[in-house]
Amino acid sequence: MGDNEASRSTLDRIRDAKQAASPETGYRLAEWDMLKPPAEQIEQTSRSWLTLSEVSIPPESKFTEWSVFDRYTNDYVSQKFQQLPEEPDPESISQSIAAIKDGDNKTVRIELVRISRVAQQHPSACEPAVPALNNKIVGADIAVQAEILDIFTKLAIHNTELVVPALDTVDNFLSEENDDRIRERSVNLINTIADNERATGPD
C-alpha cells in the first residue's frame, strides 16, 4: 500500500513537472537530468518555438535527454516526428489529409510538418490539402494556425491560385482580436499574394 502510494505520488509529480515545462502555446524544449530522481529530472529551458516546423532538438548525452512539449504535454522527441523525412514523398499528402481530418492532436501537428516540407519542394502536390487545412485552421490552437498560415504562404509564393479557397478564412485573422503572431502571418500571406499578382500582371 505504501509503495503504491509512493509510486503514484512520483508519477503525479512527473506529470506536474511536464505540465510546468509545457508552454501556453507553441513548443518548449525541456531537459531531463538523468542524474536526478525521476520526479526532479525535468527542467524547462528558455528555448521555444511557435510552430513545430521550427523545432530543433539538441543531441542527447550520457546523462541528458530532451523533450519538446506542446501545451497538452505531448512530447515530440519521438520516432514519429524525428523520422519524418526532410523531403517527404509528394504522394504522402493523401495520408496527411486523412490524419488532419481524423487524427489526434499530436498526429495532426506532425502531419502539418509533413505538408509544410512537401510545400517547400512540391507545392502543387499540396493543392488537395488546402480545403482540409482551411477547415482545420478555424478555431485551432495558435500553434496550428501559425503552421497552416506558413504552409499557405509557401504555396502562394509558388502559385497564388493554390490558396484562393482559403482567402476568406485568412481575412478573418486580420482583425485586432486575433493574436499578433497570427495577424502578422496573415498580413504576410496577403502581401505575398499581392506581390505575386503585381509581378504577373500586365506591363
Taking alpha carbons only, the member of 56, 26, 55 closest to residue 146 is: 26
Instruction: Reply yes or no on whether the pLDDT at 4 is more than 80.
Output: no
Q: What is the pTM of this model?
A: 0.91
Q: Residue 49: phi, psi to the nearest 5? A: -140, 150
pLDDT value for 57: 94
Closest CA to 51 of 151, 155, 133, 120: 151
Binned at pLDDT 50, 70 and 90, residue 39 comes out as confident
pLDDT of 117-168, one tens digit each?
999 999 999 999 999 999 999 999 999 999 999 999 999 999 999 999 999 9
Q: What is the DSSP string of 51-89?
A: SGGG--PPPP-SSEEEEEE-TT--B--SHHHHTS-SS--
In whole numbers, what is the pLDDT of the chain averaged over residues? 92
Domains located in the chain, CATH noted = 2-77 (no CATH), 90-200 (1.25.10.10)
CB 52 within 8 A of CB 110: yes
CA–CA dist 155, 61 (Å, integer): 38
118 class by beta-carbon count within 10 Å (0-12 exposed, 13-18 middle, 19+ buried): buried
| Phi, then psi, of 4 in degrees rounded to 5 | -65, -40
The pLDDT tens digits of the residues spanning 67-125 come to: 999 999 999 999 899 999 999 999 999 999 999 999 999 999 999 999 999 999 999 99
Beta bridge partners of 44: 30
For residue 203, is pLDDT > 60? no
- Local structure of residue 17 (DSSP, 8 states): H
